[in-house]
Amino acid sequence: MQGKHWISALALTAGLTIGGAAFAQTTVRIAWYSDGNEGEVVSDLLKRFEAQNRDIKVVLDQVPYKAITENLPVQLASGQGPDIARVVDLGGIARYALDMRPYLKDAAYWEKNFGPFLPWMRPEGDSSAITGFMTQLTVTGPFVNKTLFEQAGIAMPGAKATWEDWGKAAKDVAAKVQAPFPLAMDRSGHRFFSVAVSEGAKVLDDKGEPAVIDDGFKRAARRVYDWHQSGVMKKELWGSVSGTAYRGANDEFKNAQVVLYHSGSWQIAQFDKTVGDAFDWVAVPSPCGVGNCSGMPGGAGLVAIKTTKSPEAVAKVMDYLASEPVLSEFYARSLFVPGHLGIAAKGLDYKDAGPQAKAALKVFSDQVAELSPVAYKLQGYVNNRVIFNAVISRLGQAISGEGTLDEAYKRIESDIAQQIAERKK
């Protein structure tokens, strides 16, 4: 009799264990920052994924941008990071990235559709790993308050207009309509280099090492510096803070205080939502310098992290998010330029976008073809943020009156050399 009890208890325990195992979930944690509504969109998509894959629970940690640029690297270095992260410093994070090839359903699909962007997310010296995909491809470029031009009775410069043309036109418009900011540019090295590359800057030498200060760079630096002296640009952005701090003028643009705002395609969704029909705004092709008319490519990548304890589950989530129908919906609802070649070739129907946003998305998508190889090379350079940060810090000092441009050039070179040497120790 007692033996029967033991058998029943054993069977019950085994049943509970097997049942429990059937409902056991692997948790995949994603660190995600948002510029616009993309956090809501991906959250919707992940709920669908969880409904189809009951064995995987996805936790989406929505964090500020600063947490991604400053806290995440420390977390990853300590081995305490998330399983997947949405990052902008692709080169800096690459050494913590997981090569997902052994776990992906179809690695060839990834090669085919994300090919040009995969090297941006690979560790130095690696030429084959697949670590993630671009949640958005961004292109820098100017937004123009068309209403201010109309009110001033001044014609907007044409498609191949130069930076000089736009600077002059913006200043004339601002003077006529009493706008406080004729031309505003984000305090960001990435934005500065769209001017510098179009002015002919090469940035890297033949060996791929930094050779930042050349004639093209100096032309761009001189232009930005002179714009501040002549009032085309105001010191509130570049001259008001120190070091590597980012400052944007999106709030000023939304309040119709800026004639031309040099930023990038990621601003479209918020301008579409917040400006509404308060004034007419347009995106215009990247202005030309003496070298070309290139902007800077960039964007945010969703990268798998190698410290994950569940690489199979991570790859499953990534496969799902990178699949064409899911990614098409993500790009379309977030109003992002696609970083998937197949989707880009077919074109996207941005159903939720207003007419101004749709027109802006077309301008930025067309700009992809105009991007200079130098711009791509710089974007893929692993230490590009070292260069960007040195430039905004030192150029910012010169603009605010602390030293000359020549002194800034010397400091930029030494800052870059020191930081790269520190990394190599």
Partner 1 sequence: MASVETKPQPEGAGVAGLLAAPLALLMRLVDGPMRALQRLIGERRMAYVFILPNLAFFSLFVFLPLVINVVFSVTGGAGLFPSERPFVGAQQYGYLFDCGSFLEPSSCREDHFWRGVSNTARFTVFQVTAMVLFSLLTAIVLNMKIRARGFFRAVYFFPVLLSPVVVALTWKWILQRDGLLNAAITSIGGERILFLVDPSWAMFWIVFVSVWAHMGFYTLILLAGLQAIPADLYEAAEMDATPRWRVFWRITLPLLWPNMIVVIVLALIKGVQTFDEVFVLTGGGPGTATLMIVHYIYETAFANQVQNFGLAAAASVVLGIVLFALTLAQLAASHRKGAA
Give, for 139, the enclosing helix (H) or strand (E).
strand 132-145
The residue whose two tokens read 């990534």 is: 318
In the list 11, 77, 278, 290, the residue contacting partner 1 (rule: CB under 8 A) is 77
- 182 contacts partner 1 (rule: CB under 8 A): no
Phi, psi of 143, deg, nearest 5? -105, 140
In the list 288, 396, 409, 412, the residue contacting partner 1 (rule: CB under 8 A) is 396
In the list 366, 401, 406, 417, the residue contacting partner 1 (rule: CB under 8 A) is 401
- 306 contacts partner 1 (rule: CB under 8 A): no
The dihedral through the CA atoms of 95, 78, 49, 38 has a sign that is: negative
- 389 contacts partner 1 (rule: CB under 8 A): yes
Closer to partner 1 by Cβ: residue 42 or 87: 87
In the list 9, 14, 16, 74, the residue contacting partner 1 (rule: CB under 8 A) is 74
Which part of the chain contacts partner 1 (CB under 8 A), choosing from 35-43, 73-81, 113-121, 279-287?
73-81
DSSP assignment of 288-346 equals: B-SS-----EEEEEEEEBTT-S-HHHHHHHHHHHHSHHHHHHHHHHHT-B---HHHHHH
Closer to partner 1 by Cβ: residue 100 or 237: 237
> What is the residue type of 159?
A
The CB-of-422 to partner 1 minimum distance in angstroms stands at 5
- 250 contacts partner 1 (rule: CB under 8 A): no
The residue whose two tokens read 């190889």 is: 373
* Burial (CB count <10 Å: 0-12, 13-18, 19+), residue 344: middle
Q: How many CB atoms lie within 10 A of CB 154?
A: 18
Closer to partner 1 by Cβ: residue 293 or 386: 386
Applying the rule CB under 8 A, the residues between 114 and 173 that interact with partner 1 are none
Cα–Cα distance, 15 to 37 (Å, whole number) = 45
The CB-of-54 to partner 1 minimum distance in angstroms stands at 37
- Say if CB 83 and CB 103 are below 8 A apart: no
- 373 contacts partner 1 (rule: CB under 8 A): no
- 188 contacts partner 1 (rule: CB under 8 A): no
Beta strands (DSSP E) in 284-412 are 297-304
Q: Which residues of this protein are in contact with partner 1, per CB under 8 A?
A: 70-71, 73-74, 77-78, 89, 92, 180, 235-236, 239-245, 247, 383, 385-386, 389, 396-397, 399-403, 407, 411, 419-420, 422-423, 425
